[in-house]
Amino acid sequence: MANDTSRPGGVNRFRPGRAFRSRLHRRDEGSRWRRSRRCVQCGENVNEDRQQDFWSFFAAPAPLASGPRAAAERAFAEPVGAAPATETVSRGGVVYERSATAQRYRLTLRRDGVAVAVIPRRGSQREAEQFVAQQAAWLERARARQARRPRAAEVWTVGTRVLWRGELEEIRVAATGARPQVCLAADVFRVARIEGDLRATLEAQFARRAKIELPARTWELAAVTGVDVKHVTVRNQRSRWGSCSSGGTISLNWRLVQTPDFVRDYIVFHELMHLREMNHSARFWARVEEVCPAWREAEHWLKRNGSLVGL
């Protein structure tokens, strides 16, 4: 987002020329030092359990594709306004990216299992490799957590269980009609044929529904909270659930139609509150608490189940 979204934590960073630290600390609104956070939904700083799954720095967020299998178009999206890395080096199973805008060394684990170290503008390859060596234990734990997360089936056929409206629903053949149809719970989807992989067709239809449902819900909640929203878009974001800009544009991930209603609403509330507080300060979370008291449960759901839709 000019701020993006889920929540507090465990990225490992340090400023070039300073002693290494196992956690980045920063001054946040007051005089005491706090651990850095990154939010699951948007990609601002999260806790160690979530960091490796929701960060991506090197590709611009892709708009929602019009063709089938939009989910396969882009693997990652970078935070709004971030500059792309300018140089890449791969050593010892870690990809080193030099960034013109980063101020600290940063180590993350992408969803595809690749470890990425970001080198700040004034940093060096040698210091970056030392930093990665210090974080070897963290990286091992992050990979173990990633391996334990539930994953959706790669091929969707009749009988496959798919996340839909917050529940794992079985793809079933619908009543015979003029064209083949399948259903997930009470929702019916037309398909070209019953046989074979249905994922591309179903995901394209999920995305079409999202383009209708998500903007409507956002405008509704914006009216409830009194937040001035200029524009709402639905995108094929691959590393976050939503984002917003200081100009009043909110972008939402089409996969939110697969989540429970209370999770979808939390993401929308989160972005709406960013239009009042473009950060993840204590004041921001207090605003979220006011409009969405169940936000902690929603973040817990995202942490446990986001991998079922590839986030």
Tokens of 18: 């300073």
| pLDDT value of position 240 | 87
pTM of the model: 0.65
Nearest residue to 201 via CA among 186, 187, 213, 191: 191
Q: Phi, psi at residue 201, to the nearest 5°? A: -65, -45
- Find the radius of gyration of the CA atoms of the chain: 20
The token pair at 232 is: 């709402």
Residue 186 to residues 165, 182, 302, 308, Cα–Cα distance (Å): 11, 10, 24, 20
Q: What is the DSSP string of 293-308?
A: TTHHHHHHHHHHHGGG
Q: Tell me the domains of the chain and their CATH numbers.
A: 3-144 (no CATH), 161-309 (3.30.2010.10)
pLDDT of residue 80: 38
Mapping DSSP onto H, E and C, the string for 128-160 reads HHHHHHHCHHHHHHHHHHHHHCCCCCCCCCCCC
Q: What is the pLDDT of residue 196?
A: 94
Kindly give the interhelix angle for 261-274 and 282-291, rounded to the nearest 10 degrees.
140
Instruction: Give the per-residue pLDDT at 41.
Output: 63
**What is the enclosing helix (H) or strand (E) of 184?**
strand 181-184
56: how many CB neighbours lie within 10 A of its CB?
23
Kindly list the averaged pLDDT for each block of 10 residues, start to end, along the chain of length 311. Answer: 46 51 36 43 46 33 42 36 54 88 90 88 92 94 85 91 95 85 94 94 96 97 96 91 93 97 97 95 96 96 88 78
Instruction: Give me the torsion for CA of 289, 291, 293, 298, rounded to 10°.
Output: -100
Using alpha carbons, list the distances in angstroms from residue 158 to 162, 168, 209: 10, 14, 21
